[in-house]
Structure 1
Amino acid sequence: MSGSPQSGNDLDALVCLVGRGDVDAFAALYDRTRTRVFGLIVRLLRDPGYSEDTTQEVYLQVWRSAAQFDPAAGSALAWLLTLAHRRAVDRVRSEEAATRRDLRYGAASGEPAADVVVESAIQHDEARRVADCLQSLTDLQRECIELAYYRGLTYVEVSQRLAANLPTVKSRMRDALRGLRTCLGVS
C-alpha cells in the first residue's frame, strides 16, 4: 500500500491487517508511522534512549492489541499516537516514582542524592513555564489540554466530558498544542 502517513484509510486497513497477524502490514505500518510516534515520545521524554525503548514498547503493544482497533472510533494514526502518548506518560510517571524511591532510600541511608537540587529547580522552572503558557490559551483549549494530558483522557472521553463534537475537541487540541509550542519555543 502506498501513501503518506496521513492517508487514514490506508493506515486503518494496515492496523486491521496487523490485527490478523499480518507481519508485512506491521512492517508497512511501522515504516509509515515511526517518525511521528518517535517524535511525539521524544518530545515528552526528552531522552532519545528512553524514547527508543518506549517506541519499541508502543509497537509491541500495537502488535498485541491491533485486533481491538475499531476504525469507527477514530483513525489508526490517532489510536497509535494515543498509545504512544500514554506509554510515554507511563514512562515519565515510572521514572518519577523511581526518583522518589531513590530519594527516600538515599535519605534513609544518609547518602545525599546527586544533583537533586539542580534537577528539582529545572523541573520546577519547566513546570512554571508550562503553567504560564497554559494561561495564554483560551479557557476551552486549556480545559482540553488538562483533561487529555493531565488526567489522561482520550479525545473521545474529552469530547464526552465537555459535551463537544470530537472534531471540535481535536481542533481545540491542535490549536492549543500549537500555541504551547510557540509559547515554549519548541519547534
Structure 2
Amino acid sequence: MSERRELLLKAISETAEGDRSSLKTVYEMTSGKVFATIVRIVRDRERSEDILQEVFVKVWSRAGRFDPAKGSPITWLCTIARNTALNDIRRSDHVVRTPDGALPEITDDEARPADEWLCAMEDSEALARCLEELQDDHRRSIKLAFFDGLTHSQLADRVNVPLGTMKSWIRRGLAGLRSCLGG
C-alpha cells in the first residue's frame, strides 16, 4: 500500500473519531479530484464549489461508515461527490447542455457498483485508451452515464434512440471496458 493511501486511510479513520484536523488532511489530499468529479457533472464552477462543501460535510458525518475492505478512499469520496452532484441536478431539474453534435454522458437513477469502479479509474491512462477502443455509441453513452449526470432516459431522448438500445450500449460498453482493463 502506498504511503499516500495509508495517510489518507488514517486521516479518514481519525475524522470518524471527530478529529477536525484529520478532515482538513482529507480535504487537502483529495479536494482537487473530488472537485473535478463534481464539475464534470454540474458544469458550473460556483455550484460545484457549494457542492464540494456539502460533500465534505457528508464526509465529516459519514467517515465512520468508510470500509477500506470495500474499496479505496478516493473511490468512496468520488462516489459521495458524484451522488451529491447528481442529487443537486435532480433537485434543481437542471439539464446538462452540450453543443450540437456533442453527445453528453448519462447516469442511471440507481446506484451501481460500476459507478465506484469508473470513478476510481476515470483519470487513468488505461481507461482513456480503453474508452477509445469502444464503438463510438458505447463510448459516448458511458461518458454521459457516468461523468455528466444524465439518466438513461435523458440520454435516449437526447440521441433519439429507444431506452432499451441506450441501456444495451452502456452495458456492452462497460463489458468492453472491463475486458480491456482486465476487471
For the superposition of Structure 1 and Structure 2, which TM-score range results when normalised by the shorter chain? 0.5 to 0.7
Contact 2:75 2:117 in 1 (8 A): no
Q: Per-residue deviation at 1:56?
A: 0.3
Within the alignment, does 1:38 sit opposite 2:12 as a pair? Answer: no
* Residue in structure 2 matching 1:72, options 44, 48, 69: 69
How many residues were matched structurally?
Answer: 133
Residue 60 of structure 1: aligned partner: 57
SS in structure 2 opposite 1:77? helix
Cα 1:167–1:31, aligned 2, differ >3 Å: closer, same or farther?
A: closer
Amino acid paired to 1:129: L
Residue 16 of structure 1: aligned partner: 13
For 1:94 and 1:81, locate their aligned partners in 2 and report how far apart those are by CA, in whole Å: 20
Within the alignment, does 1:130 sit opposite 2:104 as a pair? Answer: yes
TM value normalised by structure 2? 0.58
Q: Which has the larger radius of gyration?
A: 1
Amino acid paired to 2:17: R
Amino acid paired to 1:46: R
Within the alignment, does 1:150 sit opposite 2:108 as a pair? Answer: yes
For 2:48 and 2:118, locate their aligned partners in 1 and report how far apart those are by CA, in whole Å: 30
For 1:152 and 1:86, locate their aligned partners in 2 and report how far apart those are by CA, in whole Å: 10
More helix by share: 1
Looking at both structures, which has the greater relative contact order when contacts are Cα pairs under 8 Å and sequence separation is at least 6? 2
Q: Per-residue deviation at 1:153?
A: 2.0
Q: Per-residue deviation at 1:53?
A: 0.4
Contact 2:74 2:120 in 1 (8 A): no
SS in structure 1 opposite 2:69? helix
CA-based RMSD of the aligned residues comes to: 4.0
Amino acid paired to 1:48: R
- Structure 2 residues not aligned, in runs of 5+: 133-138, 144-183
Structure 1 stretches of at least 4 aligned residues deviating more than 4 Å after TM superposition = 122-126, 166-174, 176-181
Q: Per-residue deviation at 1:89?
A: 0.5
Contact 2:12 2:63 in 1 (8 A): yes
Q: How does 1:114-125 map to 2 (within 5 A)?
A: 122=97, 125=100
For 1:169 and 1:23, locate their aligned partners in 2 and report how far apart those are by CA, in whole Å: 26
Q: Deviations over 1:114-160 (max 9, x none)?
A: xxxxx89x56947x6137xxxxxxxxxxxxxx7xx3244242xx49x
TM value normalised by structure 1? 0.57
SS in structure 2 opposite 1:72? coil
